[in-house]
Structure 1
Amino acid sequence: MKKCLSIAGSDCSGGAGIQADLKSFSANGVFGMSVITSVVAENTSRVISVFNVPTDEIEKQIDAVFEDIEVDGVKLGMLPTAEIISAVADKLREYKPPFIVCDPVMVATSGDALSDGDTVGVLKERLFPITDLLTPNIPEAEAISGIKINRTTDFDKAAKVIMDMGVKNLLIKGGHSSGDCIDILYTSEKDNDGNYISYSFSGRRVDSPNTHGTGCTLSSAITAELANGADMKTAVENAKQYITCAIENSFMVGKGHGPVNHFYKFYNSL
């Protein structure tokens, strides 16, 4: 069995962050491990507090995993400060995992901020050059690129800016737009006109309030797919189908945005 590591924040309500990643890893056939960067007191309605783990403890967690276990893929989630981003980047350069999927978590589903304002610059400088796939949603892509995204054609403009920062592959998620959920994967290959070759994935929009942890779940599902040998396009396609079905088969937990059903393949929603 392949083994994947999530470096992310902890969600005590179980729907997002490390908890969602481990569930998604298991549901998609890999053994999951975790390095916790921040302990977030949150539920389906709000974030109450954020306690960032000291940087040296994050480094020790990473050391503990890599010195003992062969890591087949790394997923990055909540990296709340510039110091933590730099420490994680240094460790990943040291251990050189086969690939890195980065979900640039900046805001919770509830709308609460999960990172400092100065993290974007450090992400660009320290992490993007070693990232194999970056998976921002529309607000995150806007924050990274500085381009307002109002329609699908704006994806291309924002993608060029982000890809030029050194990212090997980019998946801009369209869940925040209207109509069907269209995600676009941009690769490092270019066409004759110098444009990055892209693939569009259209999925039905599920009318459900249970979207807590969707970004975490999707990126960790992609990580599992890649670890199991899928190429990038197939990994994204399979993971998108997985998250759509997980939302479709979700069930109510809490009073706000409930979690998706990570294990819909194994039991029906209740």
Structure 2
Amino acid sequence: MRSFTDVATIANNATAILGPARLGVRWVDVGPPVRAEIIVMPSSGEDSAHEVTLGETFPVGEETWRFADLVMSSLDEWEVTVRRVDGSEAPPIGRPWERARLSPYGQLDEAQLQAVEAALGQPLPPDYRDWLRRNNGAQPEVDHHVPGVTFTLMPERPLFGVHPQHPPTDLVPAQRVHRDPWFSPEWLVIARPSGGLLLVSTAQPYDSTVYFLPEQDMVGPISAARERKLRPVAGSMPDLVGRLAPLDVAHLPPAQLAPFGTDIDRDGGRH
């Protein structure tokens, strides 16, 4: 039986119907080489699994199909394209997600974590506390962003850790500088990227969401209205790391010459 189509796209947590079978993808690996495990579920008979590298083929009943493309928006959002092998088949492309290039500062022991909580006067949210224990913050090797969100995490603006010897990247003094003018202690600022703030909630310890506040909303006194402007950008700290991607400078607008006597900082502000 011939398939209904010559090409099919399979999103994560979804299947595609070809005719003689449904296809699913158990996992993808950006490699190199780019790989995936494709599950063939025929309308009759047993399922079969095929680990294939980008460009390799696998059987679907009496037909031969090729792992032709992988497009990733993040580690949790991707699409695999497969094509029936024939004379009109397009060559494999592959646009895998480029992993975040972050350098953790190390690890923290329980005594250090308790000292941080004592200095903050409140417990750390459990999910963030565990991430901090394992990483003690992280410094990007290059500028990073979450596609579609207007902030840039830079080497000089890392994810905060415990660094008493360097207050600008230390979690405790960061609250006095970056949180207290805008938020109550029910929030914890975990980074001050270009473009705004990254925060987690301390009032709801089992809410692992990482939120973003755009810089244009950092005006006026502390208020509940500002909290309503927070935008969730990741479900947890590991999810945030999975969504961060090195910034492609080709996506930026062309550089402009500043008028004489004007300084432009990396945020695009003038002073």
Measured against the shorter chain, the TM-score band is: under 0.3
TM-score by length of 1: 0.27
Between 1 and 2, higher relative CO (CA 8 Å, sep ≥ 6) is seen in 1
What is the TM-score normalised by the length of structure 2? 0.27
Larger Cα-atom Rg:
2
Where is the helix percentage greater, Structure 1 or Structure 2? 1
